Amino acid sequence: MTTSEPHQSLSIRETLTSIIIAFALAFVFRAFVVEAFVIPTGSMAPTLMGAHMRFRSPQTGYDWAVDPWDKVGERPKPIQGDLVNPIRVNDPMSGYPMSKHGLRRHTGDRILVLKYLIPFGLRPTRFDAVVFKNPGGPQTNFIKRLIGLPGEQIALVDGDVFVRTPASTPDDPSIASVWAQPGWKIVRKWDSRDGMRSRRGLHLQASVWQPIFSSEFAPLDPELTTAQASRNRRFRTPWSGDGTGWDLSGASYRYAGSGATALRWDERVRPIVDRNAYNQALSESTRSERDGWSTPLKRGKQFPVSDVRLRCGVEPAGAGLTVAAIVETRGHVFRARFENDAVSIDMREPDGTWRNALGAGTVRGLLAPGRVSSLEFWHVDQALHVLVDGRHIASATYGDDWSPEDRLEHATGKPIEAILGQSDPPGGENPLAVPSLYEQTGPVIRWEFSGGPFTLHRVGLDRDLFYRPATRPSKQPGWSTHPSTTRTLTATQYFACGDNSANSSDGRMWESVDPWVAQIDDLAGIVPERLLIGKAFFVYFPSMQRGAVPLPSPDFGRLRWVW
């Protein structure tokens, strides 16, 4: 026994030492490498989910999240709705009305955040989903998307981001407006200068498309009959076919003719706006119930969006089918053509002249009879992309020399002087934050075909992120959404906005700086470098569900990388 006691004592000491070292390494790892955070709100929805309610339509099978309605302060109640005040929402795909009570709230996504180690070269990059201390209340962590880097001027115009580096492009003293100064360039999430075929660029852009409609979610009952509906409205697809021979009644669209035809998007049925189903409100649902269900929600203050993705699966019945996807907006016509094994991108200028084959590629077996070819045409960030079966084929850009003022004129059809008038800066709300200003140049969408018959599957339209022009609580234009409020960042300042721009407290809206933060940087609307924590890169524990068993369980189907 005496010979085993020293050995046993040594083993205990070694075990305790190992445990202490493991805890120390874990704390060091958490402090300097990776840390876990919880998403509290919906400012990044639907990319990242805060506390929310989740619905699934019995008519279409569409699954979506909605911001909680019953709240105490900033904390939503765990049970949403009761018999007296049920939760009323509409299916974003069909407009089908739903009424729920006793709905269990889902918690926010839990994410892993890679810490920034700026002195060691691990720095933020544009479009990172960054976690940082709120400049207006540093006891709270915020998460937004990084769109402005040190040393840049930032302009948010028609939903897109423009940047300029004054140090490398000095101001022209003869130009009064900062938005007309030389050196501006649009920021592209998938930029040719950074590698058009880059893996990050492809996944980033693909992850932020927000659905407007997709035919696979056609309702089972086109009459949208519900017990709560005071009157029924027949579901209308937002696509309409030219001539006879079209059957648009189901999840797949069929054309039985053989001549030239087109499938057109009907803006009256489904406006192409920056609506986010996450932001459904009780007042909007009540109005919709009164007015019928032909459209998902009343439009309200929603901005037209021209950056869109057209997509469909084309199944030709025979050989010789040609297809073209067309977007008309900002005074130009953009076209992607699919014929035989060739793909090309064309653009028609405002004067009517065509610039053909701006981008081109080949796809073996494209539009082969009896086979479904998945076609995508992206018009985004003043760039055009074509994908076939998920593979990038061709790209082109336009407007590389446009300033923010040029873009605004193309988006509204008016020079900036006519919009702003004589007030600079304006004494009231942001004159650029008026949706009707942009409606006359909204997109016209269609598919053109020759050589049918054929069947179309998963016919969809999605929109890009749209950074709204804003008015701050003080009734002044949001930062960088008007020439007079353009932010110029120093070497230690960043600019960040939420993906859910219509319902996000971000760099456009901040007006106050916490006294402690003011000792670091007292400029409102920016994120000081010292407040940055890190980059979100993985949702490791998605929003928890509570079913019949009162135990929280993760939704493993929503584990995902954050782009």
Please state, in angstroms and rounded to a whole number, the distance separating the CA atoms of residues 258 and 452: 4
Please state, in angstroms and rounded to a whole number, the distance separating the CA atoms of residues 247 and 269: 18
Q: Which two tokens stand for residue 294?
A: 């032909």
> Pick from 145, 110, 112, 111: which is nearest to 33 by CA?
112
What is the SS3 assignment for 327? strand
- The per-residue pLDDT for 422 is 47
- The per-residue pLDDT for 13 is 63
Please state, in angstroms and rounded to a whole number, the distance separating the CA atoms of residues 517 and 314: 56
Q: Which two tokens stand for residue 154?
A: 């930032």
Listed in order, strand segments (DSSP E) in 219-296 are 239-241, 246-247, 253-255, 261-265
Segment 38-55, tens digit of pLDDT = 888 899 999 999 888 999
List Cα–Cα distances, 155 to 30, 39, 335, 463, 476, in angstroms.
36, 27, 28, 20, 16
> Pick from 241, 265, 298: which is nearest to 449 by CA?
241
Encode the chain (563 residues) as per-residue pLDDT tens digits. 445 555 556 566 655 655 565 555 555 545 555 788 988 889 999 999 988 899 999 999 999 999 987 766 567 788 888 888 888 889 999 988 888 888 888 888 999 999 987 766 778 999 999 999 999 999 999 999 999 999 999 999 999 999 999 988 989 999 989 999 999 999 999 864 444 446 678 889 999 999 999 999 999 888 776 554 445 567 899 999 999 999 999 999 999 998 899 999 999 999 999 999 999 864 444 333 333 333 333 345 899 999 999 999 999 999 999 999 999 999 899 999 999 999 999 999 888 888 988 999 999 999 999 999 999 999 999 999 999 999 999 999 999 999 999 999 999 999 998 888 745 444 567 999 999 898 776 789 999 999 989 999 999 999 999 999 999 999 999 999 999 999 999 999 999 999 999 999 999 999 999 999 999 999 999 999 999 999 999 998 887 765 444 555 666 668 889 98
Report CA 512 to chain centroid distance, whole Å. Answer: 27
The answer to whether the Cα torsion of 470, 213, 42, 542 is positive or negative is negative
The answer to whether the Cα torsion of 270, 272, 276, 279 is positive or negative is negative
List Cα–Cα distances, 3 to 7, 175, 341, in angstroms.
7, 91, 83
Looking at beta carbons, which pairs linking 433-440 to residues 24 or more positions away fall under 8 Å? 433/468, 433/469, 433/470, 433/471, 433/477, 433/478, 433/481, 435/273, 435/301, 435/302, 435/303, 435/304, 437/412, 438/158, 438/303, 438/304, 438/411, 438/412, 439/304, 440/412, 440/413
